[in-house]
A and B are shown apart, each in its own frame.
Chain A
Amino acid sequence: MTASPPRIPLSFVGKRLLYGMMTVFAIAVINFFLLQLAPGDAAEALAGEAGTASPEYIAELRAQFGLDQPLMLQLWAFVSRLFTLDLGYSFRYGADVADLIFARLPATLLLMTTSVVFAVIGGIVLGVTAARFANRLPDRLISFTGLLFYATPPFWIGLMMILVFSVWFGWVPTSGMENVLAFNTGWARAVDIGHHLILPALTQAFFYLAIYIRLVRAGMLDVLSLEFIRVARAKGISEARIGYRHALRSAVMPLVTVVGTNVGGFLGGAVLTETVFSWPGVGRLMFDAMFQRDLNLLLSILILSSVFVVVTNFVVDILYVLINPTVELK
């Protein structure tokens, strides 16, 4: 008794897969050259930290890392590794890059997903409320608070939340991802991680929340003035149902687009949040890799982030069709 599900043609999937791979490859090569522009290399960074390195020692390190090879040869090595899905070796950590990243990826994904979910749900609920009470008190309160969070630097919000909720009230821990010394398992561990997760996830979410509220509010106001909303009212259905069922579904399209483009940004934002909250994720790893000129590691993380963006955009396109049956994929 419902309509047939929207069709997602296989040719569309194939085409997008091909374009996606080309995009990721191009980003990888461009990043490779960009990183060459930065002064210094891994050998210098490592030797610099030791403080007593001789030029011979640095040269030896370079030879060991393959940094003495001509640039084009280095690129060739990098590209051929890429095609075999080998991310290489981090001399800095003395471990496979893949192992390093995948050990930390779950923490970042957890943080990212939670904060995206917070921001999207909060943005929708508050945006719809603001639109339904446009230019009245609830709308003004929501818009003002949203602007406040948007204008405040995330790291500062993070620090203030630690101060208030961890230090003053003692409700949640100040940092880290779990209490390792408790050796929790199963549910107890999940609850513990959730406890640690709240503050960093909220901190990341707040910044985007403000944007999402505005997007949803504006979209809702557009849709609410359309004729089919008046017709829906004439059917005798409730304002809440009109808002969430009829108006929101049309109004949410711009939000979907923006969330899709923000996912890359969430990874960048993770650097700050993960630093403030000592969250053991990829953001911190990327930040450290940059200062240590750990090229293999840094490039791999950048590639991973571009894969994220490409995949998200694909998901966004699919979401369009699910939300709006008049969209056709080609």
Chain B
Amino acid sequence: MSTRDVPLLEIEDLRIRVRNTPGAEILRGVSLRLWPGETLAVVGESGCGKSMTSLAVMGLLPEGLERTAGTVRLTGTPVPIGDNRAMRRIRAARIGMVFQEPMAALDPLFPVGRQVLEVLNEHQRLGRRAAWARVIELLGLVDLPDPERIARSYPHRLSGGQLQRVVIAMAIACSPEVLIADEPTTALDVTVQAQIIRLLKKLQRRTGVGIVLITHNLGLVAHSADRVMVMYAGRKVEEADTYSLFTAPRHPYTRGLLDATPNPERQATGGRLLNEIPGIVPSITDPMPGCRFAPRCVRRTEACRARVPDFTVVAGHGVACFDPVPRPGEVAA
């Protein structure tokens, strides 16, 4: 079996709930596979569980949450996500993480170079000089000008974009196999957003790192992801390659998301600039027996309220829906 057949990162049936609160489930069985060299985008609105999925993979679930089921495998080997001690050798060394708020992600009391150095010192045995040289190299690798000066700067002296580059340098310092980027551009200016994504793609081409890109920015997804996974209220509802998902979304929720993106073309042809999805996301404690999107869905049927639809994959395009949007050329059932 070649490495090509083993997913880099595999999550199976991950379930997370709030401790001591019956019925408060945040993840209701999420599975995903990331292949070597691939960028998988995880999309969904706030609270759908996409960040919790990434924190669970790192073994960094906030206190008060617990995993009730699910396994995580890295190149086929189970990751001990419940064991904080054992996870320390995985974090940053094999799975790097980039966070949402670069301004808050760095310790304000240490020069940023020292914070990159800390990762190296934790996982690699380099000499003092070699380690510092590597810090400078990493800062150069993330396209920071004058890395020597930046390395000695405190976080409050740097811009959000610069800080995010430092955070990325920290995440790739030990050449991890997987990079999880949790909304890496949300807190940044639009022009800087594109630069950061381009940087991530450049690093991917260089090292072949697999990237899980968590975002709610569909424009970002269209340009940078190979595959997209859409989540809604703690479940995966659709997954496909980026082109199929954008051109032929099958789940009504995905369709709604795309319609909720401002589209001047649609407006020019007499439509509205954007169409919002009516209703609100159900509360995590809502004991809904069926599809959690059903109350807001335009295509809901009787079955939707009674049972949870299975996630079925046809020709590489997976969807969890009883009555998905027909594929182009397909006649509605």
Contact = CB atoms under 8 A, between A and B. Distances in A.
A231 interface: yes
B108 A235 contact: no
A4 B60 CA distance: 35
A324 B128 CA distance: 25
Nearest to B174: A236
Given A1-B132, A237-B118, A325-B154, A231 B167 contact: yes
B137 to A, nearest CB: 14
A235 B119 contact: yes
Contact of B99 (A227, A238, A249, A250): A227
A230 interface: yes
Contacts of B104: 226-228
Interface in A243-259: 246, 249-250
Contact of B152 (A3, A236, A237): A3
Interface in B101-155: 101, 104-109, 111, 113-114, 118-119, 122-123, 128, 132, 152-154
Contacts of B99: 227, 230-231, 234
A226 B106 CA distance: 10
A323 interface: yes
Contact of B101 (A227, A233, A324): A227
A227 B108 CA distance: 11
Given A235-B91, A235-B119, A326-B156, A228 B111 contact: no
A103 interface: no
A185 to B, nearest CB: 45
B61 to A, nearest CB: 11
B90 interface: yes
Given A226-B104, A227-B99, A233 B109 contact: no
A228 B156 CA distance: 13
Q: Which of under 10, 10 to 19, 20 to 34, or 35 or more describes the interface residues of B?
A: 35 or more
B170 interface: yes
Nearest to A226: B104
Contacts of B58: 233-234
A224 to B, nearest CB: 10
B18 to A, nearest CB: 17
B122 A235 contact: yes
B92 A326 contact: no
A2 interface: yes
Contact of A234 (B60, B84, B132, B156): B60
Interface in A293-330: 323-326
B88 interface: yes
Contacts of B84: 239
B84 to A, nearest CB: 8
Contacts of A235: 91-92, 118-119, 122, 170
A235 B88 CA distance: 8
A226 B105 CA distance: 8
A2 B111 contact: yes
A232 interface: yes
Nearest to B120: A235
Interface in B48-104: 58, 60, 84, 87-93, 96-97, 99, 101, 104
Q: When A and B form their complex, which 9 residue pairs have the shortest distance between CB atoms, in order from nearest? A: A236-B91, A227-B104, A236-B88, A3-B111, A234-B97, A236-B92, A231-B105, A235-B92, A235-B119
Interface of A: 1-4, 226-228, 230-239, 246, 249-250, 323-326
Interface of B: 58, 60, 84, 87-93, 96-97, 99, 101, 104-109, 111, 113-114, 118-119, 122-123, 128, 132, 152-154, 156, 167, 170
7 contacts: A228-B106, A233-B58, A235-B170, A236-B90, A236-B122, A246-B107, A326-B156
